[in-house]
Amino acid sequence: MTTKVYMITGVASGLGKAIALALAKTGETVILVVRDADRGTDVVKKIAAATGNSNLDLQLCDLANLSSVRNLATIINNRYEKIDVLINNASVYRKNRETTMDGYERMFATNHLGPFLLTYMLMDKLIASGSARIINIAAPSSTQLNFDDLQSEKNFNSLTAFGASKMANLLFTYELARRMEGRGIKVNAVHPGLVRSGLMKEAFAPLQWVLWLFSSSPNRAAEDILQLATSPEFETTSGKFLHKGKEMQAAAYALNPAMQLKLWTISEALTKASEQRPNYDPTGSVAMYDDHDIPEGLIRPEDEPTQKD
């Protein structure tokens, strides 16, 4: 019988897949969140075969689609009594500006707004754990946010936009850690270092080559994150930016409480986070396979009323 519930996003490949494998080896329940059903199914099969853990729950979600995030949170809130560890790992890089269904720049939406809303909507289940840990996979960004152009509509540079989304991870971590003081939830950001993955596949070839040359195995970085997620050594650690288990210095901008609060307030408004209601995502990314798993209040496209002429 399992006693812990671990949840991680972005498990299709690279670091996320490696972390999911490490978590599965504990024998506890692991919720694996992925955008593509086929890739997710393949990952679960391989992890189950490698670990013998049958307590693997595959969930579908496109973190760039806020409706999809709401679907996922609704499923999890209905299925589980608590969540012990939430690892916000999913991240994207795009060389060209793209907008999501919600009208937001894709990197900002996927790397920040989606994880922000997901964490916000799962808060009751995290609190129910009594000793939950939230881990945000981040980077030592020094990019300052342009609050007058968060969606990069006026000026888009791919590396700047990506850096801004990583700065948002840090600002979010510090603000959330402060809000969770005394509530049994520990919140930290982790820099895994340069890890071999497909994250920067759209970057210029020379940059890809350099990153790959100096990157390490995802499995090595996953072990460090597993320790932060499960080891008693970190049960009281919160509000830190860590690398290999040691605190590292974040940019002064990330440590500015005014910027942390400003981003939080804007993120609440952009995601309508307080409007926590079940809804169906017409793109079909409902995080389930079987009809009997659908909580009351969710509908499929064929159930939606049609307007007749």
Q: pLDDT for 83-133, tens place per residue?
A: 999 999 988 888 899 999 899 999 999 999 999 999 999 999 999 999 999
Per residue in 3-37, pLDDT (tens digit) is: 899 999 999 988 899 999 999 999 999 999 998 88
In this predicted structure, the answer to whether residue 308 has a pLDDT above a threshold of 50 is: no
What pLDDT, on the 0 to 100 scale, is given for residue 276?
59
What pLDDT, on the 0 to 100 scale, is given for residue 309?
36
In this predicted structure, the answer to whether residue 280 has a pLDDT above a threshold of 70 is: no
The pair of structure tokens assigned to 138 is 């981040």
- Judge whether 308 lies within some domain: no
Q: Which of 160, 169, 159 is nearest to 200 (CA)?
A: 159
- Judge whether 284 lies within some domain: yes
Q: Which of 120, 249, 113, 128 is nearest to 189 (CA)?
A: 249
In this predicted structure, the answer to whether residue 306 has a pLDDT above a threshold of 60 is: no
What pLDDT, on the 0 to 100 scale, is given for residue 109?
96
- Judge whether 118 lies within some domain: yes
Instruction: Report long-range pairs for 106-110 (Cβ below 8 Å, ≥24 apart).
Output: 106/64, 107/161, 107/162, 107/164, 107/165, 108/150, 108/151, 108/152, 108/161, 108/164, 108/165, 108/168, 109/63, 109/64, 109/66, 110/63, 110/64, 110/165
Per residue in 187-214, pLDDT (tens digit) is: 999 998 655 444 444 444 554 434 444 4
- Judge whether 309 lies within some domain: no
What pLDDT, on the 0 to 100 scale, is given for residue 79?
92
Quote the number of domains for the chain: 1
- Judge whether 235 lies within some domain: yes
- Judge whether 213 lies within some domain: yes
Domain that holds residue 110: 5-303
- Judge whether 157 lies within some domain: yes
- Cβ distance 236 to 182 under 8 Å? no
The pair of structure tokens assigned to 250 is 């974040």
What pLDDT, on the 0 to 100 scale, is given for residue 293?
52
pLDDT band, residue 148 (cuts 50/70/90): very high
Specify the 3-state DSSP secondary structure of 270. helix
Per residue in 33-84, pLDDT (tens digit) is: 998 888 999 999 999 999 999 999 999 999 999 989 998 998 999 999 999 9
Cα-based distances in Å from 252 to 15, 144, 161, 235, 260: 27, 10, 19, 26, 12
- Judge whether 245 lies within some domain: yes
- Here the CATH number for the domain that contains residue 298 is 3.40.50.720
Average confidence (pLDDT) over 239-256? 95
Average confidence (pLDDT) over 240-260? 95
- Cβ distance 46 to 12 under 8 Å? no
Per residue in 159-184, pLDDT (tens digit) is: 899 999 999 999 999 999 999 999 99
In this predicted structure, the answer to whether residue 297 has a pLDDT above a threshold of 80 is: no
User: pTM of this prediction?
Assistant: 0.85
More confident of the two residues 277 and 108: 108
